[in-house]
Structure 1
């Protein structure tokens, strides 16, 4: 096939995990003689990420391995390996286990991976280290977008300082509050608060501190779910995150930030919900957590526009949803599948000069998977809603059955390698 020798100029809005991994995937899967020139633009003064510790499932780690990031994670000893996720009722006992060990105990898939609990900050540092090695990628911080204009041939961003930036393609990897979406791709599609908030922090624990879990646990109560998990290999710190129903503060992000700054009020609320646990360490971990931060969970409508002829939204900018166990992995899959679609279009000689064909192929592949994940995420919202005694009792009966029933489909997804999936065009 003929290959156009002119590299694409690609602009990525968003210097978080989504934007950085998109840049790496676009570089990794591009035709070797047409590696794109990529500019990453971040609104913050330095690359940063907000949030606690995420669970990277086997399929997510497989992608990071393809992008050379997993090697850095291992070299820096970031995160804590997870053999299994344990589920508890805080008033009784263990309800179920979801494991990542696979049939031979080495992990799931080929090559096999287990799971990894890692802070968002450490994950970002690992990705940044690989980004710095790429000659075709530049990262500029402290730039606020005020306008986006698209023509048949290119797309131009204008920043607050008046300086424009023009490229062949614009990638909106700028999260739930995406400027790319709100100013250009789908301005009417605004985020909405789910009624669920994650209040999280970290507890430093002594070596002899006894916990009820091997690495990570979901602890159910009538008023939410408390996640407790080691996130470092030395097991010196426990991530504590309370996913619970919280009324909308109604004053935007600043209001949530202010509420989160009052750690003792948040701690008192969490203790009211989980402090009567019969599992001794639950109350102790809440009391030992040094600070708490409020992370409101926003979502987008299930259906919406992801692209124009030269702009594409990826990750939360396109399909933000409540956490359903694989949120970060879904973003990684986005980046790889899109990059492969674009690379194939480039290999075919960029027919017509517009990447629309690649965009359409990506959306046809991706939208069914996102629709399924969206439905799964609805169960998370219902599971943290305050429940009466009967409703909660029924829930504790259903959880073990649900985990058993869905295991095969979960493992099938964990085995998947999206670097090899058929693109269909």
Structure 2
């Protein structure tokens, strides 16, 4: 791959997770050929975090990964499991509905068509990381804690805990919900707020003769939460078990770590909530799941500040929200749209300041994020504790809601932000 160009921007990315890595790929791919940026990624952890639950990569998410060169690697390594359709169940009465990714001809949605992919966060990250490693202009350094961010008219400088400092033309804050970039520089007063729900997840190894009630992925609604059960590899020898449920705030990040460390207590909580399920495999899957972890879902307030003159926030650092089915795809679209806006500014001869490209991106993106944020609120309501009547109403509403919103969802699935007019 092409090395960095002498005239290319120098870019720092804070955060070596999937948002930071895809941002590096997008800035590289869409840069003018003679102005490939020099990109340095700094990650606070000692190595990239390949742990976590399983996510659903919708057709628009897979389209972006394909454009960025990561999807072929994911396919080649046989990461994840293709989803033709997502099944929705009431744990007390059975199947309620399906949400299909097969498209009109059974090949997927969009042109070219993509279905969906259930994949662990770790495997998704490894696929993207492999794509990054092919790029000569991108380097990553782990174990770097940022303690100070200074911005001038001409540059932005990071100072690390070890005393080292580094400067660049542009800083990308891709460092998640508790973003140092946001909290130390862009908008310190905008702090993460607990949503009221948490995700308890683990992976259940199963034998070939273990019977499940789903083809690939099932959303199982109960009176006290929602349980996701899904294969996440072609081998089908393990099921991801993730319970999204209302949990009282424990008050601090250290407190959450302590609660989350008690795997057996988390397992018992899931059994208390879903143990009365009439679907036979639900309880055994909870019992089989290993290394249960409790992950509190934090959000940011709607809107907020995304940038300064030389610093831009992307992904959860800018607009974290409860999971609403398209969260990962939204992040990938962020990175590609921003890269296209920045490239247009470069191609125009860098008129005025870099903030011109930032403003163009925000004008394009804010409306979509605001809609997704409002949609995410319904997720919190849907998984919150409900009585018999409230749950019964929900089981009637969900199938109609899926039917009514099908065209709207597919509109997002066919979108390709690599070709959309950025109006700039």
Task: Give the TM-score range, shorter chain.
Answer: over 0.9
Question: Number of residue pairs matched?
Answer: 420
SS at match of 1:189: coil
| 1:318-337 mapped onto 2 (5 Å cutoff) | 318-337=318-337
Instruction: Indicate if the aligned counterparts of 1:51 and 1:295 stay in contact, CA closer than 8 A.
Output: no
* TM-score, scaled to structure 1: 0.98
TM-superposed deviation, 1:5: 7.1
Residue in structure 2 matched with residue 277 of structure 1 by the alignment:
277
Q: Distance in 1 between matches of 2:295 and 2:339?
A: 30
| 1:358-369 mapped onto 2 (5 Å cutoff) | 358-369=357-368
TM-superposed deviation, 1:162: 1.3
Instruction: Show CA shifts across 1:174-223 (max 9, x none).
Output: 00000000000000100000110000000001011111100000000000
RMSD: 0.9
Q: Distance in 2 between matches of 1:5 and 1:289?
A: 52
Residue in structure 2 matched with residue 342 of structure 1 by the alignment:
342
Gaps of 5+ in 1: none
Residue in structure 2 matched with residue 30 of structure 1 by the alignment:
31
Instruction: Indicate if the aligned counterparts of 1:60 and 1:332 stay in contact, CA closer than 8 A.
Output: yes
TM-superposed deviation, 1:290: 1.4
SS at match of 1:373: helix
Instruction: Show CA shifts across 1:298-340 (max 9, x none).
Output: 0000020000000000000000000000111110000000000
Residue in structure 2 matched with residue 126 of structure 1 by the alignment:
127
TM-superposed deviation, 1:48: 1.0
SS at match of 1:328: helix
Q: Distance in 2 between matches of 1:242 and 1:310?
A: 40
Residue in structure 1 matched with residue 412 of structure 2 by the alignment:
413
Instruction: Show CA shifts across 1:215-271 (max 9, x none).
Output: 00000000000000000001010000000000011131x322221221111111101
Residue in structure 2 matched with residue 387 of structure 1 by the alignment:
386
Instruction: Show CA shifts across 1:72-120 (max 9, x none).
Output: 0011000000000000000001111000000000000011000000000
TM-superposed deviation, 1:398: 0.4
Residue in structure 2 matched with residue 192 of structure 1 by the alignment:
193
Instruction: Show CA shifts across 1:61-81 (max 9, x none).
Output: 000000110000011000000
TM-superposed deviation, 1:51: 2.2
SS at match of 2:410: helix
Q: Distance in 2 between matches of 1:99 and 1:219?
A: 16
Q: Distance in 1 between matches of 2:402 and 2:320?
A: 24
Q: Distance in 1 between matches of 2:62 and 2:252?
A: 37
SS at match of 1:292: strand
| 1:130-279 mapped onto 2 (5 Å cutoff) | 130-252=131-253, 254-279=254-279
Q: Distance in 1 between matches of 2:28 and 2:117?
A: 25
Q: Distance in 1 between matches of 2:264 and 2:39?
A: 44
Does the C-alpha gap of structure 1 residues 271 and 230 become closer, same or farther in structure 2, counting only changes over 3 Å?
same
TM-superposed deviation, 1:50: 4.4
Q: Distance in 2 between matches of 1:150 and 1:171?
A: 13
Mean Cα deviation higher: 242-251 or 44-53:
44-53
Gaps of 5+ in 2: none
Q: Distance in 2 between matches of 1:102 and 1:323?
A: 24
Instruction: Show CA shifts across 1:129-179 (max 9, x none).
Output: 111110100101111100001011110011111111100000000000000
Residue in structure 1 matched with residue 355 of structure 2 by the alignment:
356
Instruction: Indicate if the aligned counterparts of 2:50 and 2:123 stay in contact, CA closer than 8 A.
Output: no
Which consecutive aligned stretches of 4+ in structure 1 deviate over 4 angstroms post-superposition?
Answer: none
Q: Distance in 2 between matches of 1:381 and 1:124?
A: 27
Residue in structure 2 matched with residue 71 of structure 1 by the alignment:
72
Instruction: Show CA shifts across 1:30-82 (max 9, x none).
Output: 00110100000001111114420000000000000001100000110000000
Residue in structure 1 matched with residue 19 of structure 2 by the alignment:
18
Residue in structure 2 matched with residue 305 of structure 1 by the alignment:
305
Q: Distance in 1 between matches of 2:128 and 2:70?
A: 6
Q: Distance in 2 between matches of 1:317 and 1:391?
A: 34
Q: Distance in 1 between matches of 2:206 and 2:50?
A: 24
